[in-house]
């Protein structure tokens, strides 16, 4: 087993990976940029290496600096987390060349799945259902136009090298295709240095359902069931859950088999995710394979009772998977909400600054994976996701109820967060009914508090009145001034902490 592992990442995921490594008696080496010196992921580690600079390109994305750090600290392996270098085949190659184990699949698989055109072609031969579409490495306007006519509008233009929803354009009618293609190609070129774009049928109101897969170096492949990730904003997941609600067992079975077939077709090793769209008629279509640990992996851990980082480490060290398909069961229900430093009332503008006060909820069935604490600085340089809140319950209702309670007690002062927005989504009757699809947040605009500012003002005035009353009462009766006043107060009726 490895003695020392470097985590090529920051924030909550670096802290989370360190937790498992240390539990396995593996020493942890952190890397940190100029502004991350005092971050939890650094204080948590056994050793740390300074990456000179701030921008991702000169720190967490600089493959050569990371390998230099790994050699300096004499580590056996590198865990890339998600984002940054996690899906960079050249980095995985570089690690191999230096004799360092990359905790992830082979560079060949990473590069094949990183190209959506290659991925679709590869999986089609494995019998995995694809979204009807058309692709070619040198597609021109007339090819794309013909393909779109054949598929039928609306269609979606997507970047071959795409990720994070970049380079995607919905085209409603033939007259819009020329402009949309130009825009998608320009965006793809500037984001990924690769202008190739392909065309797909645009599925109306789909659900995003993905399957966790795992393969080892002994030919074993399993899936660890699904995650429903339909609550999205601009193609980015915000709330995830497992098991997916209103999801027939027969479909779960079929999609699980498809995910395993996909993994086997590419000799997959390590943790991965096969993403699908499910349409209103229950037909499912392959979207892409993510060759890394996903942000939302904790809900799978909660429901199948496994540590996925531990499994990644075992597989990377050459051990067989510690479970068979038959041993895996879904027990209860788990939800994850992503806590972002952003302002939903101002178009989800990222919010930066110092976190003066940070308090996270606690409970036996509540997990918080956080990369911040009181005194942390949130900068413009990195992803604004601060933490993930995960709740588990015997039933979906129970984990929702626990999530509502936990969100109410989550306090982040100093930067604006999406906590109240998340609570509004979780409180929505359509969410409670499990009526989910990727346009949920377009159909239900929950970005601004319905009550506006008036109740806040009323709240402050009432609070001041209470304080005055309490002071005058203690003067007349000699009461202890610190004794709480329990009357019919807004503190009681509001039922929610506010970040003011
Ligand atoms: P990325 O790699 O950029 O994240 P994906 O292919 O994973 O792109 O798709 C992200 C999201 O975009 C999906 O979860 C879904 O909401 C939407 N999407 C992608 N393809 C389609 C499609 N053919 N029809 C409708 N929505 C789609």
Mean pLDDT of the chain: 92
**Helical packing angle, 63-72 and 89-97, nearest 10°:** 30
84 neighbors 60 (Cβ within 8 angstroms): yes
Nearest residue (by CA) to ligand 1, atom 14, is: 208
Please identify, by atom number, the ligand 1 atom nearest to the C-alpha of residue 200.
23
Q: With H, G, I as helix, E, B as strand and everything else as coil, classify residue 414.
A: coil
Q: Is the CB of 235 under 6 A from ligand 1?
A: yes
pLDDT value of position 9: 98
Residue 148, φ and ψ in degrees, nearest 5: -65, -40
What CA–CA distance (Å, rounded) separates 317 from 324? 18
pLDDT value of position 151: 95
Please identify, by atom number, the ligand 1 atom nearest to the C-alpha of residue 131.
23
Q: Is the CB of 206 under 6 A from ligand 1?
A: yes
Q: Quick one: CA dihedral 293, 296, 298, 303, positive or negative?
A: negative
313 neighbors 2 (Cβ within 8 angstroms): yes
Q: Is the CB of 200 under 6 A from ligand 1?
A: yes
Which segments of 216-301 are extended strands (E)?
221-233, 236-242, 270-278, 284-290
Distance (angstroms) between ligand 1 centre and the Cα of 440 equals 14
Distance (angstroms) between ligand 1 centre and the Cα of 287 equals 7
Query: Per-residue pLDDT tens for 289-313?
Result: 999 999 999 999 999 999 999 999 9
Extract the tokens encoding 357: 């006060």
pLDDT value of position 464: 66
What CA–CA distance (Å, rounded) separates 375 from 357? 7
Looking at residues 440-468, what average pLDDT do you find? 67
Q: Is the CB of 164 under 6 A from ligand 1?
A: yes
Answer yes or no: is pLDDT of 247 > 60.
yes
What CA–CA distance (Å, rounded) separates 385 from 341? 6
Q: Which residues pair with 271 in a beta bridge?
A: 214
Q: Ligand 1: which of 83, 168, 194 to mutate, judged by most atoms within 8 Å of the beta carbon?
A: 168
Between 179 and 483, name the one with better pLDDT: 179
Give the strands of the sheet with 270-278, arranged side by side. 284-290, 270-278, 207-215, 221-233, 236-242, 333-340, 385-393, 366-370
Distance (angstroms) between ligand 1 centre and the Cα of 210 equals 12
User: Which sequence spans correspond to the domains of the chain?
Assistant: 4-103, 132-201, 207-443
Residue 461's contacts (CB-CB under 8 Å, 6 or more residues apart) are none
Looking at residues 383-397, what average pLDDT do you find? 98
Nearest residue (by CA) to ligand 1, atom 15, is: 235
Answer yes or no: is pLDDT of 345 > 50.
yes
Burial call 462-492: b when 16+ CB within 10 Å, e when fewer: beeeeeeebeeeeeeeeeeeeeeeeeeebee
Residue 302, φ and ψ in degrees, nearest 5: -65, -40
Q: Does domain 207-443 have CATH number 3.40.50.300?
A: no
Q: Is the CB of 208 under 6 A from ligand 1?
A: yes
Residues labelled as active-site residues = 292
Split at pLDDT 50, 70, 90, the class of 135 is confident
Between 461 and 52, name the one with better pLDDT: 52
Answer yes or no: is pLDDT of 24 > 90.
yes
Q: Is the CB of 232 under 6 A from ligand 1?
A: yes
Q: What is the CATH number of domain 132-201?
A: 3.30.1490.20
Nearest residue (by CA) to ligand 1, atom 17, is: 235
Query: Per-residue pLDDT tens for 465-493?
Result: 666 777 776 665 554 444 444 445 555 55
Answer yes or no: is pLDDT of 463 > 70.
no
Residue 35's contacts (CB-CB under 8 Å, 6 or more residues apart) are 54, 377, 379, 381
The percent of residues above 70 in pLDDT, for the chain, comes to 91
CATH class held by domain 4-103: alpha beta
pLDDT value of position 406: 97
Distance (angstroms) between ligand 1 centre and the Cα of 199 equals 12
Answer yes or no: is pLDDT of 60 > 70.
yes
Residues listed for the chain:
500
**List of long-range contacts for 481-486, beta carbons under 8 Å, 24+ apart:** none
Extract the tokens encoding 491: 């503190």
What CA–CA distance (Å, rounded) separates 45 from 156? 44
Q: Ligand 1: which of 165, 272, 284 to mutate, judged by most atoms within 8 Å of the beta carbon?
A: 165
pLDDT value of position 137: 81
What CA–CA distance (Å, rounded) separates 106 from 263? 13
Q: Is the CB of 275 under 6 A from ligand 1?
A: yes
Split at pLDDT 50, 70, 90, the class of 452 is very low
Answer yes or no: is pLDDT of 327 > 70.
yes
Burial of 110 (0-12, 13-18, 19+ CB in 10 A): buried
Q: Which of 55, 60, 67 is nearest to 41 (CA)?
A: 60
For residue 254, the tally of other CB atoms under 10 A from its CB is 14
Answer yes or no: is pLDDT of 155 > 60.
yes
């Amino acid at each position: 087993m490895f003695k020392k592992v470097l985590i090529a990442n920051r924030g909550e995921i670096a802290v989370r990976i360190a937790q498992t490594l240390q539990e396995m008696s593996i020493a942890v080496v952190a890397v940190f940029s100029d502004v991350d010196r005092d971050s939890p992921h650094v204080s948590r580690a056994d050793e740390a290496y300074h990456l000179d600079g701030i921008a991702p390109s000169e720190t967490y994305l600089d493959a050569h600096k990371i390998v230099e750090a790994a050699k300096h600290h004499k580590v056996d392996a590198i865990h890339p987390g998600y984002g940054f270098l996690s899906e960079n085949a050249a980095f995985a190659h570089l690690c191999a060349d230096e004799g360092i184990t990359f905790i992830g699949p082979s560079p060949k698989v990473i590069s094949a799945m990183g190209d959506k055109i290659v991925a679709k072609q590869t999986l089609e031969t494995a019998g995995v259902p694809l979204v009807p579409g058309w692709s070619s490495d040198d597609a021109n306007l007339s090819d794309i136009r013909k393909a779109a006519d054949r598929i039928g509008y609306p269609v979606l233009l997507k970047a071959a090298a795409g990720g994070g929803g970049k380079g995607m354009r919905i085209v409603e009618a033939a007259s819009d295709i020329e402009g949309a293609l130009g825009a998608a190609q320009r965006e793809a070129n500037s984001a990924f240095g690769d202008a190739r774009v392909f065309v797909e049928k645009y599925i109306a109101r789909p659900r995003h359902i993905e399957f966790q897969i795992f393969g080892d170096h002994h030919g074993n492949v399993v899936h660890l069931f699904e995650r429903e990730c339909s609550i999205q904003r601009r193609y980015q997941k915000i709330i995830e859950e497992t098991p997916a609600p209103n999801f027939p067992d027969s479909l779960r079975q079929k999609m699980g088999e498809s995910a395993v077939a996909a993994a086997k077709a590419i000799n997959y090793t390590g943790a991965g995710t096969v993403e699908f769209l499910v349409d209103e008629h229950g037909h499912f279509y392959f979207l892409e394979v993510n060759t890394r640990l996903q942000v939302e992996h904790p809900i799978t851990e909660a429901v199948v009772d496994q540590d996925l980082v531990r499994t990644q480490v075992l597989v990377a060290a050459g051990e067989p998977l510690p479970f068979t398909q038959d041993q895996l069961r879904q027990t209860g229900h788990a939800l994850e909400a992503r806590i972002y430093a952003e302002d939903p009332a101002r178009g989800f503008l990222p919010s930066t600054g110092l976190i003066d006060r940070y308090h996270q909820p606690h409970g036996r069935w509540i997990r918080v994976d956080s990369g911040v604490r009181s005194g942390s600085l949130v900068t413009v340089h990195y992803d604004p996701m601060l933490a993930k809140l995960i709740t588990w319950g015997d039933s979906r209702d129970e984990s929702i109820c626990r999530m509502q309670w936990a969100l109410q007690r989550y306090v982040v002062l100093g930067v604006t967060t999406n906590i109240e927005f998340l609570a509004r989504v979780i409180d929505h009757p359509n969410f409670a009914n499990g009526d989910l699809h990727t346009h949920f947040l377009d159909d239900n605009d929950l970005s601004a508090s319905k009550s506006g500012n008036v109740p806040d003002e009323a709240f402050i005035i009432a609070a001041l009145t209470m304080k005055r009353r309490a002071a005058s009462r203690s003067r007349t009766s000699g009461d202890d001034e610190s004794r709480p006043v329990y009357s019919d107060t807004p503190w009681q009726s509001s039922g929610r902490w506010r970040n003011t």
